[in-house]
């Protein structure tokens, strides 16, 4: 019947695209118990009514409407058949489809199609007998495995069982998809832990919200086991050494030992933090250890630091450094930690020249690149630009080297603390009071899908803000649960480095957001760089900020808004919306191929035609509201590639905008460069 090979394309629930085939409607009806000729007639009518880009959900709704007109009894049968939904291993919720069991049996075992279809039919009957509205992928697999054993297919059952992931997927990973043996171990462990979090740790409301795409829980594989990110104060380790591992290290006596102490702190921290670690104020803490050294020796210390941190990178974990040009005023009178761990009468202001020399050496090492002159992609660096540094000797050379490295592709952030603010890594705190321990961390980030709120608001502002509040509360629930989980892990001694810092560090719980630009376009048909849209965008973000501030006051915990720059939710949430809201979707990318994505946080669309200073001014309005991290990306093609031009632009950004953090990127870069490494 029907015409196959039609040009009409269907958006599946997963966001993938496939060509429409009327036979799919026919088979779907027959599977639901409708006679063949009625099914053919229904499929022909449905084929007349659909358009290109229709979703599978819309096809089912249209099929149901046609059936009710033709045969109400058959329509009720079809409706009951599609009343069972599956929480898939791809973290989506889809209507049950027996054909997927058949195809997976054929793909993963040696069974012929006829036997696979019989097994699938029996498994479906068993699942429907349970009368569950939602079933999970693991449950389907368990029932299918029972049926395989009942029919004596023990070898097929062994191939079809789960090891945290299907044997088929595990085989593909081991046989060529993974880049290393360690990557295999990480991927398999992550898969098990993600399922554990969704099935055991998170309540159904939160698990469903993540899988449906209302929000995105970052680093789900570490939700039950680790905190997200941490910025270390190196001083306690320089004083007492590192106590992790099988032996304790002594306090550092020399510059090389101090660098190794820093590296060991990062290595030790991998057991407690899942996504990123930062050694902030690194040249300040190391300044006393290079006292008396010449420029060549200081350069070797800088390169050793960079190489050692770079070698820690495995692609899964981000490492960062924070650099000041000299001693910032708020640390000038702080007692200095000296070689051997001594803290005496000396203060850090006594080591101003050493701190500047090491800052310059670090910047020049990044400008030169590695042994093959390639840019260092790890560690990422926060170069802080303070007005007080402008008059210091050598500042221009330091600034030039840092921007030269950025122009060549190094992953740098430039940071501009504003008056009355304290920065630790990419977190911003009120007041520049000196802390006994300059450390801070992010326990967890949960990102909201803003465009979906616009789709669901149906043009009503009250509903828009009601949904926004509802989703923020969902994110807060997830973050509160994370805090409970981490409290238990700390009490059990599972997170040694976090345990050491739990009482003194500032630990944050981040509510992120993605797609403000697309939200405004869907709601107003205007983008963020339009005046009216910018005003609504600011109201939306200020409302979220007010909500998290209120939760902080109510609970005594540190909830913050964050622009967690992460490619995964920007693509994952857009793809899910492509499947659920294909007719309303506002997204970047190729809709025909299903490769869609949302704009990060409150960025202006990258190819919007407006002056760079206007773009940065708009984005800067949101930075003060995002204490948990905010970064803007400046494309080199916008800024001009000359280093002098970049330096001048950075000075203007620091002086005339509200931006706290910005980076320079070449066309084609992902843009995930130096924001909060929130995880996948």
Kindly report, residue by residue over 436-457, the tens digit of the pLDDT. 678 999 999 999 999 999 999 9
Residue 548 clears pLDDT 90, i.e. is over it:
yes
Residues near 383 by Cβ (< 8 Å), separated by ≥ 6?
323, 363, 402, 412, 413, 414, 415
Q: What is the pLDDT of residue 639?
A: 58
Which of 269, 288, 293 lies closest to 279 in space, CA to CA?
269
- The segment with the largest mean pLDDT, out of 17-21, 34-38, 174-178, 481-485, is 481-485
Cα–Cα distance, 383 to 412 (Å, whole number): 7
Q: What is the pLDDT of residue 6?
A: 55
Binned at pLDDT 50, 70 and 90, residue 111 comes out as very high
Residue 13 clears pLDDT 80, i.e. is over it:
no
Of 33-42, 135-144, 382-391, 465-474, the one with minimum mean pLDDT is: 135-144
Higher pLDDT pick, 672 / 362: 362
Q: Does residue 514 sit in the same domain as residue 576? A: yes
**pTM to 2 decimals?**
0.84
Residue 188 clears pLDDT 90, i.e. is over it:
no
Residue 227 lies in a domain: no
Residues near 472 by Cβ (< 8 Å), separated by ≥ 6?
448, 511, 544, 547, 548
How many residues comprise the chain? Answer: 680
Residue 130 clears pLDDT 90, i.e. is over it:
no
Of 30-39, 278-287, 547-556, the one with minimum mean pLDDT is: 30-39
Binned at pLDDT 50, 70 and 90, residue 490 comes out as very high
Q: Does residue 458 sit in the same domain as residue 566? A: yes
Residue 558 clears pLDDT 90, i.e. is over it:
yes
- Indicate the residue among 83, 98, 126 that finishes a domain: 83
Q: Does residue 66 sit in the same domain as residue 104? A: no
Mean pLDDT score, 321-332: 95
Q: What is the pLDDT of residue 460?
A: 95
Mean pLDDT score, 178-204: 84
Residue 659 lies in a domain: no
Q: What does the pLDDT look like over 216-244, one tens digit per residue?
A: 999 999 999 999 999 999 999 999 988 76
Query: Is residue 340 left, alpha or beta, with left meaning phi > 0 and alpha meaning psi from -120 to 50?
Result: left
What φ, ψ does residue 625 adopt, rounded to 5°? -85, -15
Residue 91 clears pLDDT 90, i.e. is over it:
no
Query: What is the DSSP code (8-state) at residue 409?
Result: T
Mean pLDDT score, 501-507: 80
Share of the chain above pLDDT 90, in %: 65
Residue 200 lies in a domain: no
Q: Does residue 383 sit in the same domain as residue 278? A: yes
Of 74-83, 213-222, 262-271, the one with minimum mean pLDDT is: 74-83
Q: How far is CA 212 from the centre of its chain?
A: 17
Mean pLDDT score, 119-143: 86
Q: Does residue 486 sit in the same domain as residue 403? A: no
Q: Does residue 67 sit in the same domain as residue 135? A: no
In the beta sheet, which residues pair with residue 273? 227
Residue 162 clears pLDDT 90, i.e. is over it:
no
Mean pLDDT score, 150-174: 83
Residue 471 lies in a domain: yes
Q: What does the pLDDT look like over 517-531, one tens digit per residue?
A: 999 999 999 999 999
Which of 275, 267, 227, 235 lies closest to 251 in space, CA to CA?
235
Mean pLDDT score, 550-572: 92
Residue 186 lies in a domain: no
- Strands 506-514 and 558-562, by their bridges, are parallel
Residue 4 clears pLDDT 50, i.e. is over it:
no
Domain of 367? 234-408+418-429
Q: What is the pLDDT of residue 500?
A: 80
Q: Does residue 68 sit in the same domain as residue 127? A: no
Enclosing H/E stretch for 57 = helix 56-70
Of 104-113, 238-247, 643-652, the one with minimum mean pLDDT is: 238-247
Residue 567 lies in a domain: yes
Binned at pLDDT 50, 70 and 90, residue 561 comes out as very high
Residue 222 lies in a domain: no
Q: What is the pLDDT of residue 671?
A: 40
Q: What is the pLDDT of residue 154?
A: 87
Q: What is the pLDDT of residue 363?
A: 96
Residue 538 clears pLDDT 80, i.e. is over it:
yes
* Per-chain mean pLDDT for the chain: 89
Q: Does residue 450 sit in the same domain as residue 500? A: yes
Q: Does residue 79 sit in the same domain as residue 94? A: no
Binned at pLDDT 50, 70 and 90, residue 679 comes out as very low
Binned at pLDDT 50, 70 and 90, residue 432 comes out as low
| Cβ count within 10 A of residue 332 | 14
- To the nearest 10 degrees (0 to 180), the angle between helices 22-31 and 56-70 is 60
Domains: count for the chain: 4
- The segment with the largest mean pLDDT, out of 50-59, 166-175, 476-485, 563-572, is 476-485
Cα–Cα distance, 46 to 62 (Å, whole number): 6
Q: What is the pLDDT of residue 238?
A: 95
Q: Does residue 367 sit in the same domain as residue 252? A: yes
Mean pLDDT score, 394-409: 93
Q: Does residue 176 sit in the same domain as residue 278? A: no
- Indicate the residue among 58, 83, 108 that finishes a domain: 83
Residue 187 clears pLDDT 90, i.e. is over it:
no
Count, in order, helices (H) and strands (E) of the chain. 26, 23
Residue 219 lies in a domain: no
Binned at pLDDT 50, 70 and 90, residue 81 comes out as confident
Both tokens of 534, joined, read 């910018």
Query: What is the DSSP code (8-state) at residue 679?
Result: -
- Which residue in this structure is represented by tokens 């203007």? 652
| Cβ count within 10 A of residue 434 | 12
Mean pLDDT score, 210-220: 96
Residue 667 clears pLDDT 90, i.e. is over it:
no
What φ, ψ does residue 412 adopt, rounded to 5°? -115, 150
Residue 672 clears pLDDT 60, i.e. is over it:
no
In the beta sheet, which residues pair with residue 590? 595
DSSP string covering 287-332: GGGGTT--HHHHHHHHHHHHHHHHHH--SSSEEEEEE-SS--GGGT
Which of 585, 572, 544 lies closest to 451 in space, CA to CA?
585
Both tokens of 475, joined, read 């994110």
Residue 634 clears pLDDT 80, i.e. is over it:
yes
Q: Does residue 97 sit in the same domain as residue 73? A: no
Residues near 295 by Cβ (< 8 Å), separated by ≥ 6?
357, 361
- Indicate the residue among 395, 429, 463 that finishes a domain: 429
Residue 431 clears pLDDT 80, i.e. is over it:
no
Mean pLDDT score, 36-47: 93
Mean pLDDT score, 264-268: 93
Q: What is the pLDDT of residue 569?
A: 92
């Amino acid at each position: 019947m029907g015409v196959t090979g039609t040009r009409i394309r269907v958006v599946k629930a997963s966001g993938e695209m496939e060509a429409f085939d009327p036979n799919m409607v026919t088979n779907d009806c027959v599977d639901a118990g409708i006679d063949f000729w009625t099914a053919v007639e229904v499929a022909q009518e449905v084929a007349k009514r659909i358009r290109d880009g229709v979703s599978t959900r819309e096809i089912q709704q249209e099929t149901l409407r046609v059936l009710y007109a033709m045969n109400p009894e058959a329509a009720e049968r079809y409706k009951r058949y599609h009343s069972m939904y599956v929480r898939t291993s791809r973290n989506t919720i889809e209507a049950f489809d027996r054909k997927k069991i058949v195809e997976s049996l054929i793909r993963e075992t040696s069974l012929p199609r006829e036997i696979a279809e019989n097994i699938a039919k029996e498994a479906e009957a068993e699942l429907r007998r349970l009368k569950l509205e939602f079933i999970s992928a693991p449950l389907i697999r368990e029932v299918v495995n029972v049926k395989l054993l009942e029919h004596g297919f023990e070898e097929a059952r062994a191939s079809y069982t789960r090891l945290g992931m299907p044997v088929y997927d595990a085989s593909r990973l081991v046989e060529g998809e993974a880049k290393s043996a360690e990557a295999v171990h990480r991927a398999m462990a992550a898969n098990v832990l993600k399922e554990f979090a969704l099935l055991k740790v998170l309540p159904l409301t939160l698990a469903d919200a993540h899988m449906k795409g209302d929000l995105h829980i970052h680093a789900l594989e570490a939700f039950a086991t680790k905190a997200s990110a941490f910025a270390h104060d190196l001083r306690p380790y320089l004083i007492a050494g590192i106590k992790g591992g099988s032996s304790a290290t002594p306090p550092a006596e020399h510059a090389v030992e101090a660098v190794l102490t820093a590296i060991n702190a990062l290595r030790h921290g991998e057991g407690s933090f899942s996504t990123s670690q930062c050694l902030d104020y690194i040249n300040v803490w190391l300044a006393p250890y290079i006292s008396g050294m010449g420029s060549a020796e200081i350069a070797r210390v800088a390169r050793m630091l960079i190489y050692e941190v770079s070698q820690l990178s495995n692609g899964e974990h981000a490492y960062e450094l924070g650099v000041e040009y000299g001693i910032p005023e708020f640390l000038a009178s702080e007692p200095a930690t000296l070689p051997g761990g001594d803290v005496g009468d000396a203060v850090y202001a006594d080591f101003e020249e050493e701190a500047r020399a090491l800052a310059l050496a670090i910047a020049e090492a990044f400008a030169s690149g590695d042994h093959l002159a390639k840019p260092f992609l790890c560690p990422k660096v926060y170069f802080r630009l303070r007005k007080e540094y402008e008059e210091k000797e050598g500042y221009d050379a330091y600034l030039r080297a840092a921007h030269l490295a950025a122009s060549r592709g190094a992953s740098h952030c430039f940071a501009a603390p504003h008056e009355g603010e304290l920065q630790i890594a990419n977190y911003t705190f009120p007041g520049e009071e000196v802390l006994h321990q300059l450390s801070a961390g992010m326990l967890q980030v949960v990102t909201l899908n803003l465009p979906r709120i616009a789709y669901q608001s149906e043009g009503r502002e009250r509903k828009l803000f009601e949904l926004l509040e509802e989703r923020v509360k969902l994110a807060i629930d997830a973050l509160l649960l994370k805090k409970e989980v981490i409290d238990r892990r700390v009490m059990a001694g599972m997170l040694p480095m976090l345990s050491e810092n739990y009482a003194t560090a500032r630990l944050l719980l981040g509510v992120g957001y993605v797609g403000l630009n697309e939200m405004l376009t869907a709601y107003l048909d205007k983008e963020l760089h339009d005046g009216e849209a910018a005003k609504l965008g600011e109201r939306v973000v200020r409302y979220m900020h007010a909500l998290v501030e209120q939760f902080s006051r109510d609970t005594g915990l540190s909830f913050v808004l964050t622009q967690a720059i992460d490619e995964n939710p920007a693509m994952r949430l857009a793809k899910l919306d492509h499947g659920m809201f294909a007719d309303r979707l506002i997204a970047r990318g190729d809709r025909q191929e299903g490769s869609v994505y949302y704009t990060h946080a409150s960025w202006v669309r990258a190819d919007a035609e407006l002056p760079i200073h206007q773009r940065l001014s708009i984005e800067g309005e949101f930075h003060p509201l995002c204490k948990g991290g905010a970064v803007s990306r400046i494309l080199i093609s916008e800024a001009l590639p000359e280093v002098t031009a970049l330096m001048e632009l950075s000075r203007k950004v620091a002086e005339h905008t509200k931006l706290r953090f910005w980076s320079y990127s070449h066309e084609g870069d992902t843009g995930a460069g130096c924001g909060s490494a929130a995880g996948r």
